[in-house]
Chain A
Amino acid sequence: MTAAPQSRFVYVIHIRTTPEKLWAGLTQPEFTKRYWCETWQESEWKPGASWRAMIPDGRVADSGRIIESDPPRRLVLTWENQFLPELKAEGHSRLTYEIEPQEGGSVKLTLTHEMDRPNSKLIEATSGGWPPLLSSLKSLLETGEPLIETTRWPEDM
């Protein structure tokens, strides 16, 4: 039995959409720019491909590699912060999206963000961000509008 990663958060949200639309919502710039604080991600989304998340002013927010990609069901990637030295120093974390269709036409998204070190500052820092981001993604996919709180990149970051 392998030990559980020492820092890990697990988030679950149910969204009234299709697995294909949810996959697009998590990966495609035209969606992420609307609900993910104007950021977008660049990748070929294939195992081994590089991946990076971009901030509106041109900086790289986070980067890593695709480990597993099974659209529209499962995506695993490594995630290293690039713009905050204290977080970058911790190295790679791992992010997993699992998308499961549910009875009744909704989709269950399970997001796991983990790192093999105790009390990770990166995991702590992102843990506050995921719940509003996922709520905003749900709003966007279900109503066509994201939540106002997550539409802009924070001015002081």
Chain B
Amino acid sequence: MDLVFRALADESRRALLDSLSAKSAQTLGELCSGLSMTRQAVSKHLAILEEANLVATVKRGREKLHYLNPVPIAQIANRWIRKFERARVDALVDLKKKLESE
């Protein structure tokens, strides 16, 4: 779990996860095009995300496709948010979104 929190504690890496959440199965090149980072930086961040198991990869010929793997985040949620609290947490997140969008 240390690896997951360390991987998430960086804005660039969160931006990469946002990008994979919006569009699955991206190559390194595609991931670079939407972000103001060098290819080397993106590659390094992806390695950290993959080590933390937040990104899964599938080889397709010479290319590697990247996928957001939400399983470690589900494990974090399972650890601290119990069944009966979940509906309330969802309601609070909805409320926050609504208030902030006004």
Give chain A's interface residues, CB within 8 Å of chain B.
Answer: 1, 4, 8-14, 110, 112, 130-132, 134-135, 138, 147-149
Contacts and interface: CB of A to CB of B under 8 A. Distances in A.
Interface of B: 24-25, 53, 56, 58, 60-61, 65, 67, 69-71, 73-75, 78, 82-83, 86
Contacts of B73: 131
B25 A12 contact: no
Nearest to A108: B53
28 contacts: A1-B61, A4-B25, A4-B60, A4-B65, A8-B24, A8-B25, A9-B24, A9-B67, A10-B69, A11-B56, A11-B70, A12-B56, A12-B69, A12-B71, A13-B53, A13-B71, A14-B53, A112-B58, A130-B71, A131-B71, A131-B73, A134-B74, A135-B71, A135-B74, A135-B78, A148-B83, A149-B78, A149-B83
Contacts of A149: 78, 83, 86
B86 to A, nearest CB: 8
Contact of B67 (A8, A13, A14, A130): A8
Contacts of B60: 1, 4
B71 A147 contact: no
A1 to B, nearest CB: 5
A131 B74 CA distance: 6
Question: How would you classify the secondary structure of chain A's contact residues: helix, strand, loop or mixed?
Answer: mixed
Given A110-B56, A131-B73, A149-B78, 5 more contacts: A4-B65, A8-B67, A130-B71, A131-B71, A148-B82
User: What are the 6 closest A-B residue pairs judged by CB atoms, nearest first?
Assistant: A131-B74, A10-B67, A10-B56, A12-B56, A1-B61, A131-B71
Contacts of B61: 1
A9 B71 CA distance: 11
